[in-house]
Chain A
Amino acid sequence: MMLLWFAAVLSLYAQEIDLSLRWASAFSIGDKHEFYQNNQVMIEPSDTYQLIFSIKYISAQPYEVKNDCVWIKIPGESLGQILVETTSDCQKRNQPQVVWDHLKSIQFELNENSLKLLVSLENGRVKTQHIQFLNVPKKQKFKLFDSSVPNREYKGVFFLALNPSEEFKASQNRELLDDEACKLEDQTCLKCKNNFYKIGDKDNIQYFCGNPRCGEKNRPACPRGEKWQRKRDLFSCRLNPEHLYCGPNLTLECQGELGFCR
């Protein structure tokens, strides 16, 4: 009798992961699935595991940054599941933990800084969960007098893990040195030791770590903008480089569409 009770309690604990607490300090969402629309019932491809997004957060034990990859087993012949796998890169597999099991249908709504899960169970019951990602910034259109601080749920407040047992150990993952290339899409620019900068325009944008020191010798040309001329001409480094400038006595040299001062 006692054994049965214990097993029941154990199975309850093994299944339920409180995502709202686990991700209370989530600060970045990545690896978003391109196919699934918000609030769409997930039916295809049935009986497969699909990565729907990954999320970076600060765990309390140990007190450090972790990355959860969120997988969904699409219901088909067998019932569906929602699982999280804690791994630095979702390509690298790890032991998954089941969030919800025995699911007949699964829907989710992933917005800029919130997630809604809506599932129906084998017995017909419907379960929902709404999670607000307090640290994930929303896009904003800046106005006069606005500050550069990201538009989080509580402006100017960044939450770490609840009830940590020790002092936070930063992983010093800003390891990219000056002038190394980086990308905004995969968030590698956040790993620049000394900030990052953009060169180029429109289809020829590249990002590099460090300080551009634009306009100086052997450094990128400074951006001058394209609308001040009030012309419809297309700007081009080789044909019309007036959208760039260099310091006195330096000449603009084009490498493709990117301008440098020599």
Chain B
Amino acid sequence: MTNKGQSLPISIPKIFLYLLIGIGIAILFLLFLKYRPVESLNSDQAHQLREVVLSAIPKISERWVEGDLEKKFNAKMWSCPELAFDEAIHPSFLKCRQEYFECWAQGKAQVDSYVQVKLGKSNFKVKLKPHSNGLMTQYISRHTFSEAGFPDKGILINLEVENLGVWPVILEDTCRDTYLLERVYSYGPRPKRNESSKEMMWDNFGRSIFVDKFLVSQSDVAHWRGSVAKDPVQPALNLSDVEQEEYCESIGARKLEAKIWDAATMTPSDLSRPMPEFVVKPWLPWTRDRRGTFFEKAALDEDWKPSLHDCKRAFVKECTSVYRPHESDNVSWTGVYHVLGGESERFRNPIEPELVQRESSKRLFARSSGHKLGSRIKKASASGFRCYREVYP
């Protein structure tokens, strides 16, 4: 039996009303999805990610800049295919070095490949997330990752915190160069008595000039070209002048000029006087003249043999030890390394365009007079190069 006088529990106008409310909610929801600010999504999570990564950055940065802090790079313990053990590799080479950082991030550097962060009561692990090609690091230069205002040289990494997300960062190469103080300098070697030599005084007041600490390595060139280096630690010796210029331009720099090289290697007689009347030039980076040095001993004694320490100072022809291009004993007053001996290097030289190659190299015996600052010869053999940067305000 049905009760004909009783109406349905939901009337038609009510159905319309609910329908309208439903459609209204749907429209509002769609509008919300369209116009929501992106940052509002999971903003607590994003804030936490930001805080965790910023807390981890000093440690990550230290690993990049200092490299093999625990001194694990030795023949017995090393198992990194990207960076095979090589006695020619000095610890300086592992600083700001993509190959070492890749190895560390992949957990093959014999140390933890992550950074632990404690915030409040929670612990977080910050590690690297691989790029789409499977590698943890990606080389960055003006030519490979061109965007105005971005760093000129470094590596791109993805810092990942579990359950919070990823924050990609570029680690810049802070190890590459060193500042040349603003002062008066002089181009050319210290002249011998009664000898006329091409000297030229100049100054760099108002200019911020930075000089590469080491010769450009085969590893640097391989990253630039996207190729594999045969001998990553050794200087790149077989680039043409144009290629050398192109490499330096790719990292926002220029090929080093001879007069800047002289300035960066000849210790001023008085650092407190930036505008001396005359520039008194030393013959060697470490002392005023050759007296008491192994160069003098070699000149006086035909049977002279260099010690390991001598070869660290300047790798000359008599040296039989392994040549390490990133040795840190061969240093000038500005922190430029590899000043005498070793592989020769080529400069741009608008003052004397013919004299572009450093005379001192491992091809000369220690007794040779060519082992002196500012002494240059015509382009004679395969030689390395370095870059310099000028920073504008």
How many whole Å from A188's CB to the nearest CB in chain B?
9
Q: Are B49 and A228 in contact (CB under 8 A)?
A: no
Main secondary structure, interface of B, reads: mixed
Q: Are A160 and B179 in contact (CB under 8 A)?
A: no
Interface status of A89 (Cβ within 8 A of chain B): no
Residue of A nearest to B251 (CB): A195
* A contacts with B, residue count (CB < 8 A): 78
Q: Are B40 and A18 in contact (CB under 8 A)?
A: yes
Q: Are A97 and B21 in contact (CB under 8 A)?
A: no
A164 to B31, CA, bound (A): 23
Q: Are B148 and A191 in contact (CB under 8 A)?
A: yes
Report if A145-B179 is in contact (Cβ < 8 Å); known contacts: A156-B174, A187-B149, A226-B203: yes
Q: Are A142 and B170 in contact (CB under 8 A)?
A: no
Q: Are B173 and A144 in contact (CB under 8 A)?
A: no
Q: Are B392 and A198 in contact (CB under 8 A)?
A: yes
Residues of B within 8 A of A17 (CB): 37, 39-40
Q: Are B350 and A28 in contact (CB under 8 A)?
A: no
A162 contact from B25, B50, B148, B184, Cβ within 8 A: B50
Report if A142-B179 is in contact (Cβ < 8 Å); known contacts: A10-B32, A223-B207, A225-B202: yes
How many whole Å from A248's CB to the nearest CB in chain B?
7
CB proximity to B under 8 Å, residues A124-169: 139, 142-149, 154-164, 167-168
A27 to B166, CA, bound (A): 19
Interface status of B320 (Cβ within 8 A of chain A): no
CB proximity to A under 8 Å, residues B43-69: 43, 46-47, 49-50, 54, 57-58, 61, 64-65
Report if A155-B167 is in contact (Cβ < 8 Å); known contacts: A162-B46, A174-B142, A227-B203: no
Residues of B within 8 A of A3 (CB): 21, 24-25, 28
A191 to B149, CA, bound (A): 8
From B31, B40, B181, B184, name the one whose CB has the most chain A CB atoms within 10 angstroms: B40
A230 to B179, CA, bound (A): 24
Interface status of B100 (Cβ within 8 A of chain A): no
Residues of A within 8 A of B25 (CB): 2-3, 6
Interface status of A222 (Cβ within 8 A of chain B): yes
Interface status of A119 (Cβ within 8 A of chain B): no
A65 to B150, CA, bound (A): 11
Q: Are A164 and B39 in contact (CB under 8 A)?
A: no
Interface status of A13 (Cβ within 8 A of chain B): yes
A2 to B25, CA, bound (A): 9
- Besides the contacts A2-B25, A21-B46, what 12 more A-B pairs have beta carbons closer than 8 Å? A13-B32, A59-B38, A144-B334, A156-B61, A156-B65, A157-B61, A158-B154, A159-B167, A172-B147, A190-B148, A216-B350, A227-B184
